[in-house]
Amino acid sequence: MLGSVFLKTIRDRWVGWLVTYLSLVVLLLMVMAIYKEVDLSLYSNLPEVYRSMLGLPTDADVASLSIRSLIGTYGAITVASVALAMGSGLVAREERTGTIGLLLANPKSRTHVLVSTTAVMALFTVLMAGALWGASVVSAAMLDVSIEGMEVGALSLHMLVNTLFYGLLALAVSSWTGNRGAALGASVGLLVVSFVAAGALPLLENGADYVKAVPWHYFVGSDPLLNGVSWGDLGVLLAACALFFGLALYGLNRRDLKGQSTGVTLLDRLRSHPLTEKVIGRLAGSARVSSIWVKTASEYQTHLVITAVYMFTVQGLMMGPLYAAIPEETRAAADAAFAAMPPAFLALFGGGGMGSPEAYYQIETFGMVAPIAIMIVAVAIGAGALAGEEAKRTMGLLLANPITRTRVVAAKTVTMLVYSAIIGAVTFAGVAAGAAVGGLDMSYGNIAAACVLQTLVGLVFGSLALALSAGTGRRKLAIWGAVGAALMLHVYNSVSMIGDTLAGWEWVSPFHFYIGNDPLANGMDWSHAAVLAAISVVLIGAAFVLFPRRDLRQGGE
């Protein structure tokens, strides 16, 4: 298989793309079925300006909102995330695992390796876009939903090019640095910032003049679902894709490759500094890794730092002055449009609106981004804590020391808990600072309640990843199992808010206990916090039971 880099890359990467596609199709069917219950008169009686803001042509069925929300928003973010995760690891992952030398030992040049692996990413992206397009048409036919007037193919094409943009950006950074963390940080940061800016800038006075600097604008700015393909916007994204690929080729061919991961961790730096050598030496223990949680903390420091800085600055501090700068009439018009939306559609974004600072922070920060921030750290640690050690063939070395498997699970769990709490605390600091700088009258107690619940709901899925990692030893299964469950349960929570089909079953989703009480407005519901904490305790307990009873794996993801 090594003789064909193209086939090897397909073998290594097809699972994530397939899981993503199946999850999105299930969600598409679920949302489309629920939206059939919405009274069409709700939309037919809306003023034209509001229908335009919602993206609804006059002759479209309301259920076609599912296509916009699943392909134009959730689907686009999810597929772009899969692509940038792949792009960041095409080169850096081979270097980190020490297999780049084996790969290049075949009669293949670096250029051939990069072209072959990039071709797989492009192939998967094309297949995903085409398959989602087909699934939308088939689902609409199955459920007797009219999508007349909707340019689903145009939206899928825009999603395809948008996905390649972020995937190739990650590839370029990875090829130049050999650092997967740096590639993920740069591409994920741009993805989230551009997504938020594309929605927020047009609301500001003269903000529309700056939105053209935002990549996400070229995906949705022309509204391809209503207006068809915008070749000018696609041309901008395709030019950037060509630039990124050219930079990746140049960077990979000019750089000395690493035989294996050789990065210096924060722990190593502190241990080598004369002022902190003794303290860190006692904390970290001897070479027998007597304090495993410190070792794990060092390994995931990049995840923590990037996520913490982003949550404090972009999602916390900047949002307060941004809301204060939006003209009052613009807020009123936008809030009226939000109020006209069905509850389930608004809940897809976590609820909120423009009528108050709390509602604004809810839709911009706490609805989707805040729990995702916790999950980025918690799921990474939960999945990599045990299965990651097995994949790197270091679990045997770790257990060769006088430590039990139970102690290993406990130490990894401590790191996950500490890092998640840090992200929650940093989010609180950022939002509180943003409210103060913007002169917003927000309750710091309510902000703290939202951040505590944000941490707890993120830990639920981090704990699920830990349990899957402990039970299977497969890192990919743990990651995609936790991410897939989070996506499904978030959408389930939103659709359960409308109609009679799921009435009384909201409690099935942990997200109900996160935002069901609207903590930014109403403060803490301790029963909800207790439920989320109990779920995490049960899943972590399962990891303690499963890991000591399983034969360890050596290698593989």
Q: Is the pLDDT of residue 263 over 80?
A: no
Backbone dihedral angles phi then psi of residue 168, each to the nearest 5 degrees: -75, -30
Is the separation of the CB atoms in 86 and 163 below 8 Å?
no
- Number of CB atoms found within 10 A of residue 288's CB: 12
pLDDT value of residue 225 = 82
Q: What percent of the chain has pLDDT over 70?
A: 73
pLDDT value of residue 313 = 84
pLDDT tens digits, 537-547: 999 999 998 88
Q: How confident is the model at residue 397 (pLDDT cuts 50, 70, 90)?
A: low
Q: How confident is the model at residue 1 (pLDDT cuts 50, 70, 90)?
A: very low
Q: Is the pLDDT of residue 459 over 90?
A: yes
Q: Is the pLDDT of residue 182 over 70?
A: yes
Mean pLDDT to the nearest integer, 108-137? 87
Give the helix, strand, coil percentages of the chain, each rounded to 5.
75, 0, 25
Mean pLDDT to the nearest integer, 351-361? 81
pLDDT value of residue 26 = 74
Number of helices (H), then strands (E), belonging to the chain: the values are 30, 0
pLDDT value of residue 451 = 94
Q: How confident is the model at residue 91 (pLDDT cuts 50, 70, 90)?
A: low
Q: Is the pLDDT of residue 98 over 60?
A: no
Mean pLDDT to the nearest integer, 476-488? 83
Least confident of 110-124, 387-401, 472-486: 387-401
Q: CA-to-CA distance for 62 and 55, rounded, in angstroms? A: 10
pLDDT value of residue 2 = 43
Name the token pair of 266: 């924060």
Output the average pLDDT for the chain: 77
- Strand boundaries in 90-220, DSSP class E: none
Tell me which residue of 80, 131, 75, 108 sits closest to 9, measured CA to CA. Answer: 108
- 555 by Cβ neighbours in 10 Å (0-12 / 13-18 / 19+) ranks as exposed
pLDDT tens digits, 402-444: 677 788 888 888 889 999 999 999 999 999 999 998 888 899 9
pLDDT value of residue 318 = 82
Tell me which residue of 105, 89, 85 sits closest to 97, measured CA to CA. Answer: 89
**pTM exceeds cut of 0.85:** no
Q: What are the CA-CA distances from residue 414 to residues 46, 128, 462, 466 (Å)? A: 52, 38, 12, 12
Per DSSP, the residues of 343-359 read HHHHHTTTS--SSSHHH
Name the token pair of 488: 């499904």
Mean pLDDT to the nearest integer, 199-219? 78
